[in-house]
Structure 1
């Protein structure tokens, strides 16, 4: 029979402090993963917990997005750009036509 794991509740304040400490340590250590490990050891939680807190705090930045999500984002931006370019052409045509009338 496997022993039951017990998970400790960590307050939002401790999580925030841990994230700030990881960010500060990342500059002096070899990687963010190493910083997460050091902070996790200090507060007695699993390294992945700290890593998840850091990722949640950073949000969905392009650095964190996977290739599929980036391709979707690029496709959406290309569609928006094409729509804006079409609108710009239509406005330019309207402006040129009104100038010809006057």
Structure 2
């Protein structure tokens, strides 16, 4: 889905992030930002939001896609608030319009 609006950049957080980064690359991620820092092992969302905010600031993506789980929705909502963006949950598809990503 991400490739349709640009070059996919993935973020892998937590134990095994390095191994996950390799798999994400095999599945089309052009760049993978990974961290296996211990704070990602806990069930706290703030460190994950911090990491995604740093990723957004580093790569200026057209969109941020987050897994559709309870935790993912909380992370997406907090991230949207921090970066001044809108949020769409439970999306199953996306496409770029004539003037770029919509």
Give the TM-score normalised by structure 1. Answer: 0.26
Give the TM-score normalised by structure 2. Answer: 0.26
Q: Which has the higher contact order (CA 8 A, sep 6+)?
A: 2
Q: Which protein is bigger by CA-based radius of gyration?
A: 1
Q: Which structure has the highest strand share of the two?
A: 2
